Amino acid sequence: MADAKPPVDWDTLGFDVVATDVMYIAEVKAGADWTRGELRPFGNVSMSPAASVLNYGAGIFEGMKAQRTESGGVVLFRPKCNASRMARGAERMSLAPVPEDIFLHAVESVVAGNERWIPPYGKGALYIRPCLYGSGATLALTPASSFTFLVYACPVGAYFKGGMSPISLLVSDDYHRAAPGGQGGVKAIGNYAPGMLPSMAAKKEKFNEILYLDSTEHKFIEEVGAANFFCIKDSIVHTPPLSGTILPGVTRASVIQLAKDMGLEVREEKVPISFALGADEAFCTGTAAVISPIGKIQHGSQCVEFCGGKVGRYTQELFNTLTGIQLCQVPDLHGWVSHVTIGKD
């Protein structure tokens, strides 16, 4: 049955939960060393009602993609970066960091075990969701007594249907994503639910997403929903610095390197909203969308359009190069692509 063709229409595949064949689970008690987990059938998990993740939000996650190349191979993009980011997040959230070798083994095992769910070349990707959470019961506000590392995956369609399409953003005056000294710099589960309300409000006003400003001075750009922000002015790339309130995106780091490879100057510094509104191009980055061109930003009564509502020159070039590397169509000069062996442990 596992070798049968999955019940998926690759041409209409969206970004939704699809029950695949297997998931990976490893567990460890506080103070003990992690050991390799095992593949289990995709399904529900059980835990105590007093689990630390349910009561205190003690959990983090990652987002990754496995894709087929034109030759039929299966590749991951910079998986060690996700392993490293999860380990740093675990320290901040008082969780037991998962060693890199176990993280990579888990991800590759889930990809191989769900090989039939990986979309054909050009039809999408297998979205991988590693999760780490406090599963041990605790009533007091203390670290959990045990932890669970879980990895599952779902096939998702190509983010851009018919090519890149510039998105519109609404600047939030009432909500902030993170505050200095908080957990904005890690991929904590508690960072995301609060963003649903302002995001839905923006979409009701016909915008694609919300644009957050800093919580201290309310004038510097932070993030676009759950994506990193970039703008380009006079061939100089600007992006907010990793000061603790910005998630260190894997795609963000990759775009910075590729921009430098193109000969562009990159400045990681505070970006005033007033400056961004006068930029030549703007875009945001993330695992799911890779690079999303920004066509319009509304800030109060001021509305600015970039590139006449079209995709900017540098934005398009960066997108083409990055996706070309991810699909093994462009030379991988930095060793970012990892090939997954299918059919062997």
**pLDDT tens-digit readout, 63-115:** 999 999 999 999 999 999 999 999 999 999 999 999 999 999 999 999 999 99
What angle separates helix 79-92 from helix 100-113, to the nearest 10 degrees? 120
Domain with CATH 3.30.470.10 in the chain: 10-157
DSSP 72: S
In the predicted model, what is the mean pLDDT of the chain? 95
Residues 70, 292: Cα–Cα separation, whole Å: 23
Tell me the H-state helices in 93-194. 100-113
**pLDDT tens-digit readout, 148-188:** 999 999 999 866 454 689 999 999 989 999 999 999 999 99
E-strand spans in 135-280?
Answer: 146-157, 167-171, 209-213, 221-224, 227-233, 236-239, 265-268
Which pLDDT score is estimated for 342?
Answer: 86
What angle separates helix 250-261 from helix 79-92, to the nearest 10 degrees? 130
Residue 291 and residue 159 in contact, taking contact as beta carbons nearer than 8 Å: no
Q: Known catalytic residues?
A: 187
In CATH, the architecture of 167-326 is Alpha-Beta Barrel (3.20)
Task: Of 44, 47, 58, 36, give the one whose Cα is nearest residue 110.
Answer: 36
Which pLDDT score is estimated for 163?
Answer: 60
Which pLDDT score is estimated for 2?
Answer: 61
**pLDDT tens-digit readout, 247-261:** 999 999 999 999 999
Give the C-alpha distances (Å, rounded to integers) separating 219 from 28, 100, 144, 215, 274: 44, 38, 38, 9, 8
- When pLDDT is cut at 50, 70 and 90, the band that residue 5 belongs to is confident
Q: How many CB atoms lie within 10 A of CB 240?
A: 21
Which pLDDT score is estimated for 158?
Answer: 63
Provide the 3-class DSSP secondary structure of residue 332.
Answer: coil
The whole model's pTM is what? 0.95
Which pLDDT score is estimated for 161?
Answer: 53
Fold of 10-157: D-amino Acid Aminotransferase; Chain A, domain 1 (3.30.470)
Residue 213 and residue 219 in contact, taking contact as beta carbons nearer than 8 Å: yes
**pLDDT tens-digit readout, 181-226:** 999 999 999 999 999 999 999 999 999 999 999 999 999 999 999 8
- When pLDDT is cut at 50, 70 and 90, the band that residue 343 belongs to is confident
pLDDT at 345 > cutoff 80: no
E-strand spans in the chain?
Answer: 22-29, 38-41, 59-61, 64-68, 74-77, 124-134, 146-157, 167-171, 209-213, 221-224, 227-233, 236-239, 265-268, 281-286, 290-299, 302-305, 337-339
DSSP 103: H
Which pLDDT score is estimated for 164?
Answer: 80
**pLDDT tens-digit readout, 276-331:** 999 999 999 999 889 999 999 999 999 999 999 899 999 999 999 999 999 999 99
